[in-house]
Chains A and B, each alone.
Chain A
Amino acid sequence: DAKTTQPDSMESTEGETVHLPCSHATISGNEYIYWYRQVPLQGPEYVTHGLQQNTTNSMAFLAIASDRKSSTLILPHVSLRDAAVYHCILRVAMQQGTGSKLSFGKGAKLTVSP
């Protein structure tokens, strides 16, 4: 799977909209962009994913560049609950019956201040 690059950390204040960037310059055409977040001593939580089009759900908006070499996870009106390490992961579409491999890196630590 291709590599992603994220900032080590980002800081924000409650109520702000946060933009978490992810660079994936060598992404392949069949690689999906997944975002997970993890707080200490808990399992990662799925946030969102996309292929080419921007996507939105109750947690976040994922903006994908037209050339797919970068993406930005946008968290509107963050709260203290959103403080976590955010992982941007690329995953190749797997063949049916082979399971899915997620390769987690260090991610980007988001700090939210009151």
Chain B
Amino acid sequence: AQTIHQWPVAEIKAVGSPLSLGCTIKGKSSPNLYWYWQATGGTLQQLFYSITVGQVESVVQLNLSASRPKDDQFILSTEKLLLSHSGFYLCAWSLEGDYAEQFFGPGTRLTVL
């Protein structure tokens, strides 16, 4: 069975500090990977997606970057956090190809002060 793990579970960071959030998928090779963000009380927005190692496409610009260093790993980062980065970050995976439903991880709650 496939499992998706996100770390950390929650983070409190200062404005201007760096950030690195991680996501690992086990039990599935070559998945499509996605990062989503949800502000408190807001709608879920897709930020990035990746279909293969080393390749990441940006969907929404939020002064964040993403990388896929391994087939099963997806990293979201920034060098300088903004207050507006606070929210709930979700990683998701899907099978290759069309019409594939996405499976979401447990999420990371980020508070920027």
Question: Given A43, A94, A102, which contacts B105 in the complex, CB threshold below 8 Å?
Answer: A43
Write out the residue numbers on chain A whose beta carbons fall within 8 Å of the beta carbon of B109.
41
Q: Is A69 an interface position by the 8 A CB rule?
A: no
Instruction: Tell yes or no: B7 within 8 A of A by CB.
Output: no
> Which of B32, B43, B98, B106 lies in contact with A104, CB distance below 8 A?
B43
**Size category of the binding interface on chain B:** 20 to 34
Kindly identify which residue among B100, B101, B107 contacts A43, using a CB–CB cutoff of 8 Å: B107
Is the contact region of chain A dominated by helix, strand, or loop, or is it mixed?
Answer: loop
Given that A97-B51, A99-B57 are contacting pairs, would A104 and B44 also be in contact in the complex, using a CB cutoff of 8 Å? yes
State whether the Cβ of A66 lies closer than 8 Å to any Cβ in chain B: no
Q: Contact: A96 with B106, CB < 8 Å? A: no
- Are B102 and A93 neighbours in the complex by a CB distance under 8 Å? no
Across the interface, do B49 and A101 meet the contact criterion of CB distance under 8 Å? Answer: yes
State whether A93 touches B51 (Cβ < 8 A). no
User: Closest approach, in angstroms, between the C-beta of A14 and any C-beta of chain B?
Assistant: 26
Mark the stretch among B11-19, B69-77, B78-86, B88-96 that contacts chain A.
Answer: B88-96
Q: Is A44 in the interface zone, CB < 8 Å from B?
A: yes
Residue ID in chain B nearest A38 by CB atoms:
B44
Q: Which residues of B contact A105 (CB under 8 A)?
A: 43
What are the residues of chain B within 8 A of A61 when measuring CB–CB? Answer: none
- In this assembly, does A42 line the interface, its C-beta being within 8 Å of a C-beta of chain B? yes
Given contacts A46-B103, A99-B50, A102-B46, 11 further A-B contacts (CB under 8 A): A43-B104, A44-B90, A44-B102, A45-B104, A96-B97, A99-B32, A99-B34, A100-B32, A104-B43, A104-B44, A104-B45
